[in-house]
Structure 1
Amino acid sequence: MSPEPSPLHLAYSPCPNDTFVFDALAHGRVPGMPAPEVTFADIDITNGLAQQGRFDVLKVSYAVLPYILGTYTLLPCGGALGRGCGPLVLAREARADLSGGTVAVPSETSTAYLLFRLWAADTLPGGVGEIVVLPFHEIMPAVRDGKVDAGLVIHEARFTYRDYGLHKLADMGEHWERTTGLPIPLGAIVAKRSLGGAALTRLADAIRTSVRMAWEDPEASRPYVMEHAQEMDPAVADQHIGLYVNEFTADLGEDGYAAVRGLLTRAAAEGLVPALGPEALAFP
């Protein structure tokens, strides 16, 4: 008798959109798909893990794709794209001038950072001054306390920044959508090419099924979501899921792939990432 294959090892964030999407898969409720091993890590960590070739499947920033597509392939589902869900630049004053200013960002390998740099190239003639990388939860306090001139924030900060007395200086997503007409690409699901085409197709189908199961019975995922939501208010968690889990999560589709190619092509033209080959995003 041949030994049972080892379970897949997944790494994704504890954010509500990820736990909502992967709840059924993580708990072995997707028919025909054994429960994987799961490691929770913020996306800046999973970006680094992917560059080291760690884990079979990871949630990463689209910004890191040019560095990992030799080892991983982009799955056509499970990730985060959308409209009206872009990162924000926050400041203490509503009309702050950021030219030459210090900006705190959660990562320099994130999609949010690429969107910020593309926005800055279009709108800040003097350019940005110093970039400071801070843990996500430290950014809004640092802006509030005057330690930095502005902060780039993502996820639930869209709903909570006013609690810190801060103002939205710009919405990176609005700028992206206005200049491209495309949805905003944020987080990607990638899997090792070495798994093989058949296994990758089964995995993509299982993730789509997990997404559909979460939509059909949202309450089934709630314990998993709230267990890992880092003391987030349930209403904020629901807003988070509503914003980041949408039709592009079930399938990237033509517009989704166009958004990813558009982001990485523009970023390469600015010298922010290496250029992609014409077939780099092909699946499987």
Structure 2
Amino acid sequence: MTPSTPDRPLSLTYSPCPNDTFVFHAWAHGLIPGAPPVDVDHADIDITNGRAERGEGDILKVSHAVLPWVLEEYALLPCGGALGRGCGPLVLTRDAGGTGQAAGAPAVRAAADLTGRTVAVPGERSTAYLLFRLWAAEHVPGGVGNVTVLPFHEIMPAVRDGRVDAGLVIHEARFTYRDYGLRRLADLGEYWEGTTGHPIPLGAIIARRSLGADRLRQITDAIRASVHRAWDDPAASHAYVRAHAQEMDPAVAGQHIALYVNEFTADLGPEGLAAVRELLTRAADQGLVPPVPQLS
């Protein structure tokens, strides 16, 4: 793709999830004075990860787990992402009394029961899956059997209907999984925080390095301004958030925003950067991702 110039809008891609539409509402709608104009596209995180790996797009919301493959072409921006505490991915199974995927297979009641079983995940380059692999290496002797990638909104129905033995879920599923008759087998946020003491790195904002240092500073300023405007006037983005989360209960959307839009969204800071570095260093040490010499 030809690098963007001031003569055309920058491409900006993020998910339709409430935290992203809340954060980027002001910038996407031209409400930030002096901010670079943008053409916005909404896509599931697995799609944006793939676009980043192929070098498609100027500014993208991606998983922190994909950074080792894209940092040569893209810079990690210090704002707009998703980190936090108490917001990690969950490993879900059917409620007690259910059966396994295969006829006659025992129910999954403990982490060790996942040995040789089928797990649905929201993307092979997702941070959720990277955390799952780190956790499973310690808690699932012999490893899981099959991993299947599904859009995150399809994972809980797949677990409920017995098409998979367990599912790795993100986002608002933290608040709704009981509605599907599912139970929490593990909270990977609790695992991560208890093991490292760091907040959980989930989503990152990256921008094409070829835009140049001045343009990257403009983009960073625009994102921060959009975050602060969202906080100052949260009602302004309601219609936009709802338009892209039509099937989500408004109360759940509010919980989603409150959980994932926090101080790290406005500024990654030393604490957030240390968390990302810890994740990628641990993963590289286990051969799960290529080494990352620096995060910038």
Alignment: residue pair count: 278
Q: Secondary structure at the match of 1:230?
A: coil
Deviations along 1:92-146, one digit per CA (max 9) or x if unpaired, are 1452421221111111110000000001111122221111112222211111111
Out of 26, 37, 40, which is 2:39 matched to?
A: 37
Out of 66, 74, 77, which is 1:75 matched to?
A: 77
Out of 86, 90, 94, which is 1:88 matched to?
A: 90
TM-score (norm: length of structure 1): 0.95
Q: AA paired with 1:48?
A: G
Q: AA paired with 2:211?
A: L
Q: Secondary structure at the match of 1:14?
A: coil
Q: How far apart in 2 are the matches of 1:259 and 1:34? A: 30
1:244 equivalent in alignment to 2:246: no
Out of 26, 46, 49, which is 2:48 matched to?
A: 46
Matches within 5 A, 1:1-284: 5-93=7-95, 95-96=109-110, 97-277=113-293, 280-282=294-296
Q: How far apart in 1 are the matches of 2:195 and 2:245? A: 33
Deviations along 1:60-99, one digit per CA (max 9) or x if unpaired, are 0001100011110000000000000000000114524212
Structure 1 runs, 4 residues or longer, greater than 4 Å off: none
Q: Secondary structure at the match of 2:114?
A: coil
Q: CA deviation at 1:8?
A: 1.0
Worse-superposed segment, 129-138 or 111-120: 129-138
Worse-superposed segment, 129-138 or 213-222: 129-138
1:27 and 1:35 in contact (8 A); partners too: no
Q: How far apart in 2 are the matches of 1:200 and 1:34? A: 10
Root-mean-square deviation (Å): 1.2
Structure 2 vs 1, CA of residues 99 and 210 (structure 1 numbering), >3 Å: closer, same or farther? same
TM-score (norm: length of structure 2): 0.92
